[in-house]
Structure formats: C-alpha cells, structure tokens
C-alpha cells in the first residue's frame, strides 16, 4: 500500500495529484525550486522540500536531488505529472532501482514509445494502422528518393526522437526533399542528439483524436473513449473536448480496440494516451503514444466519471482495474480551454508577472484546474499555462455555452491571458457546428484575430486595472474606517468595469 507520494512537478498538475492523494488519505511531498518557494503546491502538500535553483534543469529535472528527497521524506512512490521527467525512461529506471514505485509505465514502455520508428514497428506488428511510410530510418538521399517514389508526395519528414511536432518537415516537391531532409536531420541532431528521420505520407486535413487507456499489472486493459484535440496552435493544444463530433459508436469501438492493442503490445501499466490522425473518410492512423497523464485528462474524467489520478495510484500499487470495458459509459459533453499567460493579440508573447486581481469562474458544470492566487508572481521559467477551464454539460451546446459564461466570469488582472482568444473560438460558427480540423486556427485567422481586437483588449485591460486599483483603495479605506459598512461605492465600481467590458466585447 502506498502511504506517501512525492510529486516531482509543480503548477496545476501538482495540485491535481495532491487532491487525489488527500481523498485516498495518502501523504504528499512537494518539491520546489527557488522561484516556487511561495507556490501553491508547496502550501498544499503535507511536506515540501527545496530542490534547487529556478531553471528546471537544476530543479524539477534533477533526478538525483528528487530521489534524495524521496528517501529523506520516507516516500513510497513518485508521481512525475506531465512534462519534466514524466517520459524519461532513465528516471523511471532510477526510481525503481532506488526502491520506489514510479507512478507510470515501465522504463521499457516509455523507451519503446519514445522512439517513434520503434513505436511504428511495434504498432504494425500489433495490427494497429499507422500512416503509410517507413518503419525504419532514412539512410541517405538515394534512399529518401526511393521511399518518396513509393509513398507518393506530399510526405512528412519526422524525427524519430521527436514527437509533438518537433523536428517535422512537410515536403511537397522532389526539389524540396534534399534540403528539407538535411534540415530535418540537423534539427533532430541539435534537439535530441539523434539525427534519425523517418517518412510518412502527409494526411491533408486530419483530426487529432486520442484515446485514453488504462492498464494494470495483471494484463487488464480498458479504454476511456476519445478526446478531440484538433484545435491547436504551433502544435500546442488550445481546446480539447469529448466526445468528438466525428465519432460514431462503430468507429469508437474499433479505434478503442486498436488503442488497447497498442497498449497491450508494450505491456503498458497505468494511464496512457494513443494519438491518431483521422481523415474526413474516417480512416485513422496511429501517430504516437504518450506515456503519461495528459494535460487534457479532465474532459475524460467529467464524461466517464472516474478519477484518473486515483486509478494511476491503484494500478501502481498492484491493484487490479476495478472497472471493465462494459461499465464505461460516456455521459454528456465536456470542453477544456487552456488559459495561458500569453498575449493572443501580440503573437502569443509570454506575459509573466504578478496577478493583482483574480476571480475564477464557478457554479454548475464548471471546473478550474489552476494554481495561481491573487498576489502570485507567474514565473518566466516554466510553462505559461495558468489553468485549465473545464466545463461539463448534458450536450455539446450546453458545455460550450457554459464555457462562454465561465470565460466571461474569469477575471485575471496583472498578466495578459488567452481568454479573449478562447471566447472568439467558442463563439465561432464553424467551431459551434463542429466543423473543424487541425487547420482550424490557420484557416480562421480573420475571425479569430480581428483587426481592432488588440486595441479593444488593451482598453478593457486598462479599464479593469483601474477598477482593480479603485477597489483596492476603497478596500483600504474601509479597513481604516470600518464603520463605512459594506461599501456601496465599491460594488458600483465593479459594476461599471463589468458592464463596460461586456459591451466592448
Ligand atoms: C502529421 C500530419 C499530417 N500527416 N503527420 C503535428 C504534431 C505531431 N503530433 C504530428 N503532427 C502532424 N503529423 C502526417 N503524416 C499533420 C500533423 C499536424 C497536426 C497534427 C495534430 C494536430 C495539429 C496539427 C497541426 C499541423 C500538423
């Protein structure tokens, strides 16, 4: 039985894990860098230990230091969250060798899926459809030409050690092939220390659909249906939802079975995700497998009604999966918006800084997985995601309408956020009708980035900042003269700011 878990992460995912641990009555240990001394994961855990300077290479990626804290705190297990060390096979190995439970798959499964050429080979052997192309490294330029002649243009060059869009090149013509091959190789070498590149036929306008799977140590597997993640920007997911509008019960059953076959072929343990590209005709192709809990896992939790972190912990301590495939039912619809400290009207420039005013949405069907609080300084050192706003509804329409309501309620002052951009997507006609694929943001530039939006937003932000300052001053006044009552004036200022912002939008 696991009694104490060290969480080798920060931000919203660290809090998410702590919450499940609390409910399971498992003790929690946080680790933190210099800049995170006052972060929420430090406050919420039962114990917290400093592990090093702010740069993640010297803190959240410092395996030996994290293991030292695991020993010192008497932890039984380590949960890596996502990012950082979560898909590092060497870390999974070291954790096990040091006598702790790694909450995730085996080092072997991580390694197999981390090498995309090996993963393709294993998928072909398991009967999982992959994008037509090579299951081996491209040898040289003659070899590349030969493969392209067989596969047919356009093709994609991908780094075997890559994934998530890093080191990719789209090739339309034979003239482009050689320079792009050289570029892909040197980029792969520079990024991953491995210049192995493979070739896939280019799928023109696909959907990115992924299946959540769970496996235990006794060979039992279930899938928890799909997530539609096609709304992306520069290979960063922006919005995720489940169910997918293009899914049919038949296709879901078939793809779910293939996702399980993929997991089974590497003796997968724990929570994992099998990513597919799906074309307009319902053809689907394995893309890659993510061997971690994903950012977008909450939409699955809402619609399937299970706690994925608890399942991870159960499976890691050797328990059998408590549910069977037949018991899995999708109920309603869930949408997730990722809220970033970025300026959508200035090329998504990171906007770190102090959150001077924060009001998070709440109410029926609303879940906020966040970590910032009023007064918190969002560091530049890590991912700029502030929170995930997740809504649930009986229907897609209700979940989306609820998302608009929740985004309207959300007030973050001090840093620029992607909230205005997310509102524009939620109100977009094609999005509302479910007519979108991976090109959605690129093909809706005009609607999503209207000419005057940056000016508009600046005005709203300035107004909001002034309102916050007035509230702050009013608050101070009330504190020095408590006989002022509940402050009618204060609410008048609030009202002013809100109404103005709404009419402006
Ligand atoms: C592709 C593709 C088309 N054909 N592979 C981008 C991220 C990485 N996970 C794989 N990606 C793609 N691979 C083939 N053979 C198109 C993309 C792609 C994409 C995929 C999912 C979501 C958004 C995307 C945006 C551009 C390209």
Per-domain boundaries in the chain: 4-103, 132-201, 204-331, 339-450, 462-504
What six digits make up the tokens of 492?
Answer: 């008048």
Quick one: which of 26, 85, 107, 43 has its CA closest to 309? 26
Contacts of 348 (CB under 8 A, 6+ apart): 233, 340, 342, 418
Which pLDDT value is given to residue 480?
A: 54
Which pLDDT value is given to residue 505?
A: 33
Q: Considering only CA atoms, which residue is closest to atom 6 of ligand 1?
A: 165
What angle do helix axes 249-265 and 116-125 make, rounded to 10 degrees? 110
Report how far residue 6's alpha carbon sits from residue 17's, in angstroms, rounded to the nearest whole number: 10
Ligand 1: lining residues by beta carbon, under 6 Å: 131, 156, 164-165, 200-203, 206, 208, 230, 232, 235, 277, 287, 438
Q: Tell me the CATH number of domain 339-450, given options 3.30.470.20, 3.40.47.10, 3.30.420.10, 2.130.10.10.
A: 3.30.470.20
Quick one: which of 355, 389, 352, 353 has its CA closest to 372? 355
Q: Considering only CA atoms, which residue is closest to atom 3 of ligand 1?
A: 203
The dihedral built from the CA positions of residue 429, 433, 434 and 438, taken in this order, carries a sign that is: negative
Query: Burial of 357 by CB count in 10 Å (0-12 exposed, 13-18 middle, 19+ buried)?
Result: middle
Report how far residue 197's alpha carbon sits from residue 143's, in angstroms, rounded to the nearest whole number: 12
What six digits make up the tokens of 305?
Answer: 């009604």
CA of 439, closest atom in ligand 1: 25
| Distance from the alpha carbon of residue 436 to the mean position of ligand 1, in angstroms | 14
Fold of 132-201: Dna Ligase; domain 1 (3.30.1490)
Report how far residue 325's alpha carbon sits from residue 330's, in angstroms, rounded to the nearest whole number: 12
Q: Choose which residue among 235, 244, 274 to substitute to test ligand 1 binding: the one with the highest number of ligand atoms within 8 A of its C-beta.
A: 235
| Distance from the alpha carbon of residue 411 to the mean position of ligand 1, in angstroms | 34
| Distance from the alpha carbon of residue 276 to the mean position of ligand 1, in angstroms | 10
DSSP H stretches of helix in 289-386: 297-304, 308-316
Quick one: which of 183, 185, 188 has its CA closest to 162? 188
Under a CB-based contact definition with an 8 Å cutoff, are residues 235 and 165 in contact?
yes
CA of 133, closest atom in ligand 1: 15
| Distance from the alpha carbon of residue 273 to the mean position of ligand 1, in angstroms | 16
Report how far residue 200's alpha carbon sits from residue 227's, in angstroms, rounded to the nearest whole number: 23
Report how far residue 57's alpha carbon sits from residue 63's, in angstroms, rounded to the nearest whole number: 10
For the chain, counts of helices (H) and of strands (E): 18, 22
Residue among 10, 252, 292, 396 flagged as catalytic: 292
- CATH code of the region 204-331: 3.30.470.20
Q: Residue written as tokens 């009604």?
A: 305
Fold of 4-103: Rossmann fold (3.40.50)
Which pLDDT value is given to residue 475?
A: 75
The dihedral built from the CA positions of residue 311, 312, 313 and 318, taken in this order, carries a sign that is: positive
Q: Where are the beta strands (DSSP E) in 185-302?
A: 197-201, 207-215, 221-233, 236-242, 270-278, 284-290
Report how far residue 264's alpha carbon sits from residue 257's, in angstroms, rounded to the nearest whole number: 10
How is residue 36 annotated by DSSP? G
What six digits make up the tokens of 217?
Answer: 């140590």
| Distance from the alpha carbon of residue 283 to the mean position of ligand 1, in angstroms | 15
Contacts of 202 (CB under 8 A, 6+ apart): 153, 154, 155, 156, 170, 171
Q: Choose which residue among 135, 277, 285 to substitute to test ligand 1 binding: the one with the highest number of ligand atoms within 8 A of its C-beta.
A: 277
Q: Choose which residue among 132, 134, 168 to substitute to test ligand 1 binding: the one with the highest number of ligand atoms within 8 A of its C-beta.
A: 168
CA of 438, closest atom in ligand 1: 23
Q: Strand, coil or helix: what is 241?
A: strand
Q: Considering only CA atoms, which residue is closest to atom 10 of ligand 1?
A: 165
| Distance from the alpha carbon of residue 64 to the mean position of ligand 1, in angstroms | 35
- Ramachandran assignment for 350, one of left (phi > 0), alpha (psi -120 to 50 degrees), beta (any other): beta
| Distance from the alpha carbon of residue 165 to the mean position of ligand 1, in angstroms | 7
DSSP H stretches of helix in 208-307: 249-265, 297-304
Q: Considering only CA atoms, which residue is closest to atom 27 of ligand 1?
A: 438
Under a CB-based contact definition with an 8 Å cutoff, are residues 364 and 401 in contact?
no
Which pLDDT value is given to residue 479?
A: 58
Q: Strand, coil or helix: what is 112?
A: helix
Under a CB-based contact definition with an 8 Å cutoff, are residues 272 and 294 in contact?
no
Q: Considering only CA atoms, which residue is closest to atom 7 of ligand 1?
A: 165
Which pLDDT value is given to residue 411?
A: 97
> Is 292 a known active-site residue?
yes
Report how far residue 64's alpha carbon sits from residue 9's, in angstroms, rounded to the nearest whole number: 15
Q: Strand, coil or helix: what is 285?
A: strand
Q: Considering only CA atoms, which residue is closest to atom 16 of ligand 1?
A: 203
Q: Residue written as tokens 């994609």?
A: 156
Which pLDDT value is given to residue 163?
A: 82
Which pLDDT value is given to residue 117?
A: 97
Mean pLDDT by 10 residues, the chain (505 residues): 98 99 98 98 98 98 98 98 98 98 98 98 98 95 96 97 87 97 94 95 97 98 98 97 98 98 98 96 96 98 98 98 98 98 96 96 98 98 98 98 98 97 98 98 96 71 79 70 43 39 36
CA of 275, closest atom in ligand 1: 9
Q: Strand, coil or helix: what is 441?
A: helix
Does 204-331 match 339-450 in CATH topology?
yes
Whole-number Cα distances in Å, 367 to 96, 125, 352, 407 = 34, 41, 24, 12
For the full predicted model, state whether its pTM sits above 0.85. Answer: yes
Which pLDDT value is given to residue 490?
A: 43
Under a CB-based contact definition with an 8 Å cutoff, are residues 168 and 159 in contact?
yes
| Distance from the alpha carbon of residue 160 to the mean position of ligand 1, in angstroms | 14
Whole-number Cα distances in Å, 133 to 16, 152, 200 = 39, 9, 4
Q: Choose which residue among 153, 158, 208, 276 to substitute to test ligand 1 binding: the one with the highest number of ligand atoms within 8 A of its C-beta.
A: 208
Quick one: which of 196, 202, 194, 212 has its CA closest to 176? 202
What six digits make up the tokens of 178?
Answer: 């050689």
């Amino acid at each position: 039985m696991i009694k104490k878990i060290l969480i080798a992460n920060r931000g919203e995912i660290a809090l998410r894990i702590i919450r499940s641990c609390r409910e399971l009555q498992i003790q929690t240990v946080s680790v933190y860098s210099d800049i995170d001394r006052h972060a929420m994961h430090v406050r919420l855990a039962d114990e917290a230990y400093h592990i090093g300077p702010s740069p993640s290479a010297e803190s959240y990626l410092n395996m030996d230091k994290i293991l030292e804290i695991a020993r010192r705190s008497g932890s039984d297990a380590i949960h890596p969250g996502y990012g950082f060390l979560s898909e590092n096979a060497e870390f999974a190995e070291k954790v096990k060798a040091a006598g702790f439970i790694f909450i995730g798959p085996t080092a072997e499964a991580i390694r197999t899926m981390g090498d995309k050429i090996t993963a393709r080979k294993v998928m072909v052997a398991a009967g999982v459809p992959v994008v037509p192309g090579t299951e081996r490294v491209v040898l040289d330029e003659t070899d590349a030409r030969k493969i392209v002649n067989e596969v047919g243009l356009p093709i994609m060059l991908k780094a075997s050690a890559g994934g998530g869009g890093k080191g990719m090149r789209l090739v339309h013509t034979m003239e482009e092939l050689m320079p792009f091959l050289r570029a892909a190789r040197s980029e792969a070498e520079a990024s991953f220390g491995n210049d192995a590149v493979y070739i896939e036929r280019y799928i023109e306008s696909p959907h990115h659909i992924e299946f959540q799977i769970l496996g235990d140590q006794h060979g039992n597997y279930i899938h928890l249906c799909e997530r539609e993640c096609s709304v992306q920007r520069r290979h960063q997911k922006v919005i995720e939802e489940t169910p997918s509008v293009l899914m049919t019960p038949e296709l879901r059953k078939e793809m779910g079975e293939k996702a399980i076959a993929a997991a089974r072929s590497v003796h997968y343990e724990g929570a994992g995700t099998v990513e597919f590209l799906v074309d307009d005709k319902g053809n689907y192709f394995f893309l890659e497998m993510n061997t971690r809990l994903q950012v977008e896992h909450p939409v699955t939790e809402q619609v399937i009604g299970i706690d994925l972190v608890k399942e991870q912990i159960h499976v890691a301590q050797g328990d059998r999966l408590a549910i069977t495939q037949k018991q899995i039912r999708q109920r309603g619809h869930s949408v997730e918006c990722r809220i970033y400290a970025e300026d959508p009207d200035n090329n998504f420039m990171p906007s770190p800084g102090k959150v001077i005013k924060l009001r998070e949405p709440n109410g029926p069907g609303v879940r906020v997985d966040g970590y910032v609080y009023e007064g918190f300084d969002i560091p530049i050192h890590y991912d700029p995601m502030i929170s995930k706003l997740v809504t649930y509804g009986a229907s897609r329409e209700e979940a989306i309408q609820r998302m608009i309501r929740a985004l309207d309620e959300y007030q973050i002052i001090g840093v620029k956020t992607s909230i205005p951009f997310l509102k524009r997507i939620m109100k977009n006609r094609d999005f509302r009708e479910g007519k979108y694929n991976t090109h959605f943001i690129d093909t809706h530039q005009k609607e999503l980035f209207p000419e005057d939006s940056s000016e508009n937003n600046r005005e709203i932000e300035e107004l909001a900042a002034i309102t916050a300052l007035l509230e702050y001053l009013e608050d101070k006044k009330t504190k020095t003269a408590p006989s002022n009552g509940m402050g009618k004036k204060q609410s008048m200022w609030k009202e002013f700011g809100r109404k103005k912002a709404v009419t402006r939008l």
